[in-house]
Amino acid sequence: MLRRLSCCGLLLLVGFQLLAQGCASPGGKAAADSLTGKSPAAFWQEQLRFPRVRAAQAGIGAELATRLHAHALDPKKLEVFIRMIKSRAELELWARNQGGGAFQLLKTYPLSATSGTLGPKRRSGDYQVPEGFYEIDRFNPKSNYHLSLGLNYPNAADRALGEPHPGGDIFIHGGEASIGCLPITDAGIEEVYLLAVAARAAGQAVIPVHLFPFPITETELAKRRNSPHQAFWRGLMPGFVYFEQHHDVMRTEALLVAR
């Protein structure tokens, strides 16, 4: 954490503060559910009711505010996008100002543990990390793994393509263990969680999360031409290519068709 702040940095910190899970703990799911339906203006204050969120904000809020300022990002207009490429074993956090054009890479977070292999998640207990186009649907401030952000897995495509029991409760979380989730250490999840809260409080209703097996290019697909997942991966390709070209997220309707 920065020990000293310039006047500009202090103002950013004030603004950042005013914006104001199986990974869910016992009672954690209820805690996460209790936060849904809140207005954006109230969301930050609701999150600050929880000790871990308050501690994270006190510890790294100033540093995050300074990082946003360095990228010309306004916390009151913040919009974020999360991407993970399995072969790189790291989670990317992209950000922009609402209406501000292309996303810019804010930081990458190495996964502290991995599970499964390349390929989508299709059944409960397969230890696979999902692949496809998702969004954050839960904020869990009482996770067994410090803090966690839930993905809307299984989505409609997973239910259509997967087995009768596709599983669930896939989270980005702290700690160093994975049974299909995305752990980025306690320190990593504090940053990602606070920035996601800030974006939600700034009015971003949908925080997209794209999960890919590898950079989906013709070269990479050719290396895996005998994989049974070839057709599925090609269905993800338009979303990957569009973001690479534009640093923007393809419209949801187009992604659904591509999937």
Choosing from 23, 69, 146, 173, the catalytic residue is: 173
pLDDT in tens, 27-51: 444 445 444 456 777 899 999 999 9
Strands 90-97 and 104-110: antiparallel
User: 91 - beta bridge partners?
Assistant: 84, 109
Q: Is 173 a catalytic residue?
A: yes
Q: Which of 69-83, 119-133, 171-185 has the highest mean pLDDT?
A: 69-83
C-alpha–C-alpha distance, residues 28 and 30, integer Å? 5
Decide if 7 is catalytic: no
- Whether cis (ω within 30° of 0) applies to the bond prior to 154 is yes
Which helix (H) or strand (E) covers residue 197, if one does?
Answer: helix 185-201
pTM: 0.85
- For residues 65 and 75, the answer to whether their CB atoms sit within 8 Å is yes
- Contact in structure between 41 and 197 (CB atoms under 8 Å): no
How far apart are the C-alpha atoms of 68 and 55, rounded to whole Å?
20
Residue 248 has which token pair? 């923007």
pLDDT at position 80 is 98
- Give the separation between CA 115 and CA 117, rounded to whole angstroms: 7
Mean of the per-residue pLDDT values of the chain: 84
Is residue 14 over pLDDT 80? Answer: no
**Nearest Cα residue to 178 out of 89, 95, 69, 50:** 89
Instruction: Give which of 188, 96, 80 is closest to 136, Cα–Cα.
Output: 80
Strands 208-212 and 78-85: parallel
Give the pLDDT band of residue 212 (cuts 50, 70, 90).
Answer: very high
> Among 87-91, 106-110, 114-118, 215-219, which stretch is predicted with the lowest mean pLDDT?
114-118
pLDDT(99) > 50: yes
| Catalytic pick among 8, 181, 229, 247 | 181
| pLDDT(21) > 50 | no
20, 45 Cβ separation under 8 angstroms: yes
177 — pLDDT class (breaks 50, 70, 90)? confident
Residue 32 · residue 151 · CB < 8 Å: no
Longest dimension (CA), the chain: 58
pLDDT at 196: 97
* pLDDT of res. 162: 80
The total number of residues shown for the chain amounts to: 259
The single-letter DSSP state of residue 104 is: E
Nearest to 195 by CA among 100, 85, 45, 94: 94
Residues 6 or more apart whose Cβ sits within 8 Å of residue 212? 83, 84, 85, 86, 131, 236, 240
